[in-house]
């Protein structure tokens, strides 16, 4: 599982947050707060959930405030992975009022985005807990947000497909078109790939599955069943069961079809909507009334 360690926060998350804060604060700073609020004013505020869901990104939200002022006092009330109700307190923030307002929107945007993904993943996993299948995300993620999105999927109980093009040899339909077919692809890989790389192949028909089984001979570790019918998925799982090949269903799977897909016996179900279309969880920041 991805762990957002302090080292990963500094190397990966902080640069992302720095750019996000720079984008929001702009060249002239928070001109409204600069005009209305004293530099020395101190306030307390609660970040609250407006809707029920699964929380993800609490440490990232905290780090957003500390990117501007490390002296801001923050009390995290819930942990990533916890289910919350509408109105629940997620975090208490205390410190310089202008700093709180400057970091507010980026902190809430990241927390809402990550929690929305975690919630969507949890909801999908809840539908198939009676099976051995596991929900997985894809690379269909807005650029530069991949680490946080994939972390949120894990928080919601799902799994991660590859992080990038260098994580796995994944032969897709366009690769097969380019090299001439399944056999040709395996022949080209035979003496070129490093032993540490797993090989996966995307197929969209039972004919391709049969061809893969004929030529796999220990060469293929993972098969992706792309946009296949439930019947064909079930047959494909039967065909590869003796080859010890991991099976993954992909392509247009949603909450109304995921149960049938999981019951075919596939190991994983990859869903792009988890990261490119999950509704953002509504969270807000409310100042305390003195």
Angle at 119 between CA 117 and CA 123, to 5 degrees: 120
Q: What is the rounded CA–CA span in Å between residue 22 and residue 190? A: 48
Domains of the chain are 6-125+279-287 (3.90.1170.20), 127-276 (3.20.20.70)
Cα–Cα distance measured from residue 63 to residue 58, given in angstroms and rounded to the nearest whole number? 9
**Candidate list 30, 104, 226, 267, residue with the active-site label:** 226
The predicted pLDDT at position 219 comes to 79
**Residue 80 annotated among the catalytic residues of the structure:** no
pLDDT at 244: 82
Whether 172 is catalytic is: yes
Active-site residue flag, 140 = yes
Of 69, 77, 82, 105, which residue is the catalytic one? 105
CB distance 237 to 84 below 8 Å: no
Instruction: Measure the CA–CA gap between 248 and 202, rounded to whole angstroms.
Output: 9
Options 77, 139, 146, 172, the catalytic residue: 172
Q: Which residue has the tokens 């440490």?
A: 59
Q: Render the burial of 122-157: b for 16+ CB within 10 Å, e for the rest.
A: bbbbeebeebebbbbbbbebeeebbbbbbbbbbbbb
| Angle, vertex CA 125, rays to CA 119 and CA 131, nearest 5 | 175
pLDDT for position 38: 96
Point out the catalytic residue in the list 140, 146, 219, 239.
140
73 is catalytic: no
Helix (H), strand (E) at residue 235: helix 230-240
Find out whether 275 and 138 touch, Cβ atoms under 8 Å.
Answer: yes
- Contact indicator for 200, 171 with CB cutoff of 8 Å: yes
Is this prediction's pTM over 0.85? yes
Chunked in runs of 10, what are the mean pLDDT values of the chain (290 residues)? 84 96 94 96 98 98 97 97 98 98 98 98 98 95 93 96 89 90 82 74 92 80 94 95 89 95 97 95 90
250 pairs with which residues across the strands?
226, 270
How many beta carbons lie within 10 A of that of residue 219, not counting itself? 15
Q: Which helix (H) or strand (E) holds 6?
A: helix 6-8
Catalytic residue from among 80, 202, 248, 267 = 202
User: In the 8-state DSSP scheme, what is residue 10?
Assistant: I
- Burial class of residue 289 (count of CB atoms within 10 Å of its CB; 0-12, 13-18, 19+): exposed
pLDDT at 190: 74
- The number of residues making up the chain comes to 290
User: Reduced to 3 states, what is the DSSP secondary structure of residue 226?
Assistant: strand
Q: How far apart are CA 158 and CA 285, in angstroms?
A: 29
């Amino acid at each position: 599982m991805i762990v957002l360690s302090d080292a990963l926060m500094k190397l990966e998350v902080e640069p992302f947050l720095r750019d996000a804060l720079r984008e929001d604060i702009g060249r002239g700073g928070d001109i409204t707060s600069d005009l209305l609020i004293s530099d020395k004013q101190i306030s307390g505020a609660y970040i609250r959930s407006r809707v029920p869901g699964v929380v993800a990104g609490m440490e990232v939200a905290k780090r957003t405030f500390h990117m501007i002022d490390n002296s801001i006092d923050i009390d995290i009330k819930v942990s990533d992975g916890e289910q919350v109700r509408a109105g629940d307190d997620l975090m208490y923030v205390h410190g310089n009022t202008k700093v709180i307002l400057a970091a507010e929107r980026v902190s809430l945007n990241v927390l809402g985005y990550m929690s929305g993904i975690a919630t969507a993943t949890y909801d999908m996993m809840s539908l198939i807990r009676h099976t051995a299948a596991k929900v997985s995300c894809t690379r269909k993620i807005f650029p530069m947000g991949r680490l946080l999105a994939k972390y949120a999927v894990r928080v919601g109980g799902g799994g991660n497909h590859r992080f990038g093009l260098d994580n796995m040899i994944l032969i897709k339909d366009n690769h097969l078109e380019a090299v001439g077919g399944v056999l040709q692809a395996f022949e080209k890989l035979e003496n070129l790939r490093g032993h540490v790389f797993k090989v996966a192949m995307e197929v969209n028909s039972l004919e391709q599955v049969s061809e893969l089984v004929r030529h796999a001979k220990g060469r293929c570790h993972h098969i992706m069943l792309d946009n296949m019918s439930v019947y064909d998925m079930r047959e494909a799982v039967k065909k590869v069961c003796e080859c010890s090949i991991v099976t993954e269903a992909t392509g247009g799977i949603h909450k109304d079809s995921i149960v049938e897909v999981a019951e075919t016996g596939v190991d994983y179900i990859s869903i792009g909507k988890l990261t490119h279309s999950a509704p953002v969880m509504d969270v807000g920041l409310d100042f305390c009334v003195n």
